[in-house]
Amino acid sequence: MTRTLAEVAAEAATCTRCRLAEGRTQVVFGVGNPDADLLFIGEAPGFHEDRQGEPFVGAAGQLLTRMLGGIGLRREDVYIANVLRCRPPGNRDPLPDEIEACTPWLIETISIVQPSVIVTLGNFATKFVLNTQRGITSMRGGVYGWHGRKVVPTFHPAAILHGGGEKSRQFLELQDDFALIRKTLDAARAPVDPVHAAPVDPVHAAPVDPVHAAPVAVVGAAPAAAEDDQLELF
């Protein structure tokens, strides 16, 4: 039986699967609409997130909120999470065993929310989700088909703030990416033409295994290198 996000978050709150449990103030599970069509995935909680228990509440979070407002959305309209649920010491990069320990929480989050569109914020989340070594500069600006969903990579808001803010070229590209997010979301929400849509037999349709689902091709952007098979998790 599928659990609710609240039930999963309650279990995650006492997680001790990796060393990060020793130094955290609290688990930062996620925030927003549990039925959202749009899911944002960042890297890991920072100082303010660790203290408040909510992702993206510092300056980067304020920028994210503004960018959402610019495309007619509020934080409560979307769901926001990170690859890691606990803050790494000194905001260092996540270690492989920490990622492995935390991945099941992300898998279950996506399985419950069932978003149509996922936005990966920054290098780490993009490389992790799409399993590519290409950087965010080359990945952004495209829409990637991924296990029945669309993924739109863009810059992490913190990178914008540290790189010149609104005067930077990256900020203009961030605005372009959010316009693309809006367009992709609208397309995902568009009603299916019943005349041309392939019929589905709900009785005999094979269930989707979110862990071993085959990756799908990139749409609307230059494909990643052949060896960069997308992460087969969801």
- 152's enclosing H/E stretch is strand 149-154
Check whether 194 has a pLDDT greater than 80.
no
Contact between 158 and 171 under an 8 Å Cβ cutoff? The reply is no
CB < 8 Å & 24+ apart, contacts of 63-69: 63/157, 63/160, 63/161, 64/40, 64/121, 64/157, 67/157, 67/174, 67/175, 67/178, 68/178
CB atoms within 10 A of CB 188: 14
Please name which of 144, 89, 99 lies closest in space to residue 119, comparing C-alpha atoms: 144
Q: What is the DSSP letter of 225?
A: P
Q: What pLDDT, in 10s, does the model give residues 206-234? A: 333 333 333 333 334 444 433 334 444 44
Return the minimum-mean-pLDDT range out of 57-71, 162-176, 189-203: 189-203
- Residue 33 has φ and ψ, to the nearest 5°, of -80, 120
pLDDT band for 205, please (50, 70, 90 cuts).
very low
CB atoms within 10 A of CB 99: 17
Q: What percent of the chain is modeled with pLDDT above 70?
A: 81
Structure tokens at 209: 């295994």
pLDDT at 110 (0 to 100): 96
Check whether 15 has a pLDDT greater than 50.
yes
Q: Which residue has the higher pLDDT, 140 or 198?
A: 140
Q: Check: CATH 3.40.50.2000 for 32-185+209-219? A: no
Q: What pLDDT, in 10s, does the model give residues 174-192? A: 999 999 999 999 999 998 6
Q: What pLDDT, in 10s, does the model give residues 29-87? A: 999 999 999 999 999 999 999 999 999 999 999 999 999 999 999 999 999 999 999 99
- Average pLDDT over the chain, rounded to whole? 86
Q: What pLDDT, in 10s, does the model give residues 115-134? A: 999 999 999 999 999 999 99
